[in-house]
Amino acid sequence: MEFGFTDEDEVFRIEVRTWLSSHADGAQDRRTWERTLGKSGWIGLGWPESGYGNRTATLTQQVVWAEEYARSGAPARSGHIGEKLLAPTLLAHSSEEQKARFLPPVAAGDELWCQGYSEPGAGSDLAGVRTRASLASDGSYRISGQKIWTSLAHEADWCFVLARTDPESSRHHGLSFLLVPMDQPGRIEVRPIRQLTGTSEFNEVFFDGAHARVEHVVGGEGNGWRVAMSLLGFERGVSTLAQQVGFAEELTLVVQAAVQTGAVADPVVRALLVRQWAELRVMRWNALRTLGSSGDAGAPSAAKLLWAGWHQRLGELAMLVRGAQATVGPREWAPSAPYELDALQQLFLFSRADTIYGGSDQVQRTIIAERVLGLPREPKGVV
């Protein structure tokens, strides 16, 4: 597609920038911020339907919003899982009653969601999920099992859970997509996972007879694989361009560090910095080129391979230009602050996971090999 911003888009950009400048600085906790966004209709711009308390925007205006949000320094979103993943899935697969119940609270920023997909034995191989949901005598489901790497589960009000509702089934058969309330003491336990960075955005979630209402099955019982795969298709789009705004800011920090330490005098370091800049520009133009396109099974995998490797190399370069100073924390050690990291150290440690989460590099290459190049499928059970 031919991509460009119209005069109307630039007017919209001014509106977005003005609103963010007058609201983002005063933002408090992330849940309050979600409600602030919701009151002005900024949640759900990419939904194909309005009427749930959201406004809709053109594709280019969604890009404008994403880029301006990234530049504004506004708080990290805690409602993006409900807005970007659950909502498009409900719009595509749910009943009118389900849309009327769940979309307005997402648009208002009142209900936060997490994603119950991966398990200790079913990460990249999602069809191997063992979490089970069985119908009880009262007509509701009882869910038992474990999910892992569940982003923001400690903040979420609801979780969409992929569970096996047919005990005799295997692989992608007999799965259902359930909407589960998280406020179930004694039935749902959330355990934070401490990361290399010292933070705990990810969690383990244990279900021990957790309740889910039968009318909260999306797409019908046994159709969970189709719904789940549809949802994974929504994990790309304008957010890629917003992500690249953040990447550009991180690259600027690395360049500044190279100047401060004198590492920029090394021609090898200069070449690496220029390469990172050039590759980021290529990724932006590729994202713009493919924005709004569909039907290319390999595009999401190719994009993931590009940005994950790029970001990981940037983290390594951040340590290279800092030299020995990269091993020293920004503050003296103290019992009250035993694990302090600066921005570039955070970048390096967090980026180690880029080639694993969201589908590892190996999985992305397998998808391209099998679904795009038509190569033979990888044998199962081979060690």
- pLDDT surpassing 80 at residue 143: yes
User: Would you state the pLDDT for residue 241?
Assistant: 74
User: Would you state the pLDDT for residue 168?
Assistant: 81
Residue with tokens 């991509």: 3
- pLDDT surpassing 60 at residue 382: no
Catalytic residue (choose from 235, 249, 279, 340): 235
Rounded CA gap, 382 and 356, in Å? Answer: 21
Q: How confident is the model at residue 166 (pLDDT cuts 50, 70, 90)?
A: confident
More confident residue, 69 or 4: 69
Distance of CA 190 to the CA centre of its chain: 19
Rounded CA gap, 156 and 180, in Å? Answer: 11
Rounded CA gap, 361 and 123, in Å? Answer: 13
97 given a catalytic annotation: no
Burial of 99 (0-12, 13-18, 19+ CB in 10 A): middle
- pLDDT surpassing 70 at residue 239: no
Sorted by sequence, the CB contacts under 8 Å of residue 1 that are 6+ apart come out as 289, 291, 292, 293
Both tokens of 196, joined, read: 């290399």
Q: pLDDT tens digits, residue range 310-363?
A: 999 999 999 999 999 898 888 877 777 777 888 999 999 989 988 987 778 888
Sorted by sequence, the CB contacts under 8 Å of residue 303 that are 6+ apart come out as 236, 240, 283, 286, 287, 290
147 within 8 A of 123, measured Cβ to Cβ: no
- pLDDT surpassing 90 at residue 98: yes
122 within 8 A of 129, measured Cβ to Cβ: yes
